[in-house]
């Protein structure tokens, strides 16, 4: 069985700003543990000269030219914002008073 603990899952949930119930933490600890175990099995097969793969497609160097295309209008850009002030997004205080 893997080393994934409920504390790690709770920590990850905090970092990802996901509010998990104790029940969800228990079930995710189990699920993530199984995933880690499965990956460990693959690692047993992969030898040292098998490079880690991050992308399944055998493609590289897909670039675009440095040419300006029209942007959204300010109204479009701000249309989904919960709050705005003039042409800027307005967000709650970032730090508590120190």
Partner 1 sequence: MPKAELMDFDRALELFEPVLGFEVHVELNTKTKMFCGCANEFGSGANTNTCPTCLGLPGGLPQVNKKAIESSIRLGLALGCEIAEHSRFARKNYFYPDTAKNFQTSQYDDPIAHDGSITIELESGRLVTVEIERAHMEDDAGKLTHMGGATGRIQGADYSLVDYNRGGVPLVEIVTQMIEGAEHDAPEIGKTYVAAIREIAKALGVSNARMEEGNVRCDANVSLRPRGSNVLGTRTETKNVNSLRSVERAVRYEIQRQAAVLAGGGTITQETRHWHEDTGITSAGRPKSDADDYRYFPEPDLLPMAPSRDWVEELRLTLPEPPAARRKRLQAAWGFANLEFQDVVNSDLLDAVEATVAAGASAQAARKWWTGEIARLANAAGVAADSLVTPAQLAALIELVDAGTLTDRLARQVLEGVIAGEGTPAEVVDSRGLAVVSDDGALIAAIDAALLGQPDVLAKIRDGKVQAAGAVIGAVMKAMRGQADAARVRELVLERAATIE
Is residue 94 a contact residue for partner 1 (CB under 8 A)?
yes
Tell me how many residues contact partner 1 (CB under 8 A). Answer: 38
Rounded distance, CA 65 to CA 39, Å? 38
**Smallest gap, in angstroms, from Cβ of residue 17 to partner 1?**
6
- Closer residue to partner 1 in complex, CB, 6/77: 77
Report the alpha-carbon distance of residue 28 to residue 93 in Å, rounded. 32
Minimum CB distance to partner 1 smaller for 1 or for 56: 56
Range 42-81, binding partner 1 (CB under 8 A):
54-55, 57, 59-69, 71-72, 74, 77-78, 80
Integer Cα distance of 93 and 89 in angstroms = 13
Contacts of 2 (CB under 8 A, 6+ apart): 32, 33, 34, 36, 37, 40
3-state SS string for 24-38: HHHHHHHHHHHHHHH
For partner 1, the binding residues (CB under 8 A) are 11-12, 15-17, 54-55, 57, 59-69, 71-72, 74, 77-78, 80, 85-95, 97-98
């Amino acid at each position: 069985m893997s080393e994934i603990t409920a504390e790690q899952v709770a920590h990850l949930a905090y970092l990802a700003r996901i509010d998990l119930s104790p029940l969800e933490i228990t079930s995710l600890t189990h699920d993530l543990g199984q995933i880690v175990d499965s990956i460990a099995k693959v690692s047993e097969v992969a030898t040292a000269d098998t490079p880690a793969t991050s992308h399944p497609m055998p493609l590289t160097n897909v670039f675009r030219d440095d040419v300006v295309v029209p942007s959204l209008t300010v109204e479009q850009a701000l249309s989904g914002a919960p709050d705005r002030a003039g042409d800027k997004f307005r967000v709650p205080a970032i730090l508590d008073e120190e």
